[in-house]
Structure 1
Amino acid sequence: MSEVSDIIAANAAFYTAFAAGDFAALAALWADQETISCIHPGWPAIVGRMSVIGSWREILNNPGRPQIVCAEPYAIVDGDHGRVICIELVDGAPLAATNYFRHIDGAWRLVHHQSSAIAQFAAGADDPTEHGRSIH
C-alpha cells in the first residue's frame, strides 16, 4: 500500500470503530502521547491522552450517540505526518472534519481530531474554491 492508502485506511478504521462502539479499537488508533488533542463540535479543546480518550469513552457510552459516516476523505501526507480532510455525516448533517496522524512505530496514529459545522454560503458570496481545493 502507498502512504496515502495507509492513512486513508487508518482514517476508515477510526470511523469503523466509532460506528461499532468499539472503545478499545478507537483508543488503540490514538497515539500514546500526552500531546494529542481533540475538538468535538461545540466542545472546548481537549489536550492530553487521558482527557481525549475519556471524551471518546463518554461519547461511545452515550446511548443516544450519533451515527457518523466519513465521506469524501482526502489525504495529505508529508513524511511521517499526515491528515485526512473529510465530510462527517452526523445523523445526516454534514460537518467538516480533519484527522491528523503521525506515523509511529510503523502505523498511522491519530494525534488530533477536529470537526465543526459547515457554514452555508450566502448567494453572491465568494466561491470557496477560488482560494484552494474544495472537497465537496
Structure 2
Amino acid sequence: MSDEQRLIELNEDFYAAFEAGDLDRMDRIWANGDLAASVTCVHPGWPALRGRDEVLRSWAMIMANTTYIQFVLTDVEVHLGSDFAVLTCVENILTDDDEDDATTFAGAKGVATNIFRRTENGWQLWVRHGSPVISDTHDDDEG
C-alpha cells in the first residue's frame, strides 16, 4: 500500500472512530512518544489545544456529548513530505439536531487540515484544524 493510500485510510479511521465514539481507536491514531507534547488540535470555534492528553480529553468530551454524527468526505487531497503529510478534506456532516427527537437531523459542512507524521509506529495524526464552512455560495460580482 502506498503512503498516500495509507494516509487516506488512516484519515478515514479517524472519522470512523469519531462516528463510533470509540476513544480507544481515536487514541491509537494520534501521535505519542516524543511528539506527544506537540500534538495540536483546533476544533471548530475552539482555541488551539496542545498536548496529546488535552487533545484526547477534548475528544472524550465531544464523543460523550454527540448522540449521532456521520461524515461523507470529499475533495480529499494528500501532500507528502519526507516525514510528514498534509491531508485536506471537506467534511459533509449529518448529525442529530435535537436530543429529544432522534428523527431530526441537521447537515453541516466543514473543512479540515490533518497533518500526519511518520513515526516508528507508522503514520500518526499530529496536528488537526477543523473549521466550519458558513456558505458555499460565492458572489461573482465581488473581487
| TM-score between both structures, scaled by the size of structure 1 | 0.84
- How far did 1:119 drift? 4.8
Q: 2:100 maps to which residue?
A: none
Q: 1:78 maps to which residue?
A: 81
Count matched residues: 126
Is 101-110 or 116-125 further displaced after alignment? 116-125
Letter matched to residue 51 of structure 2: G
Whether 1:125 aligns to 2:142 is yes
Q: 1:27 maps to which residue?
A: 27
Q: 2:110 maps to which residue?
A: 95
- How far did 1:106 drift? 4.3
Structure 2 unmatched runs, 5+? 95-106
**Structure-2 change in CA distance of 1:69 and 1:23 (3 Å):** farther
**Structure-2 change in CA distance of 1:59 and 1:69 (3 Å):** farther
| TM-score between both structures, scaled by the size of structure 2 | 0.80
Letter matched to residue 82 of structure 2: G
Alpha-carbon contact 2:19-2:68 (below 8 Å) kept? no
Q: 1:132 maps to which residue?
A: none
Alpha-carbon contact 1:15-1:70 (below 8 Å) kept? no
**Structure-2 change in CA distance of 1:119 and 1:45 (3 Å):** same
Question: How do 1:1-136 residues align onto structure 2 when only pairs under 5 Å count?
Answer: 1-32=1-32, 33-64=36-67, 66-91=69-94, 92-120=107-135, 121-126=138-143
Structure 1 unmatched runs, 5+? 127-136
- Give the CA RMSD over aligned residues: 1.6
Alpha-carbon contact 2:41-2:48 (below 8 Å) kept? yes
**Structure number with bigger Rg:** 2
Between the aligned partners of 1:65 and 1:34, the Cα distance in structure 2 is 31
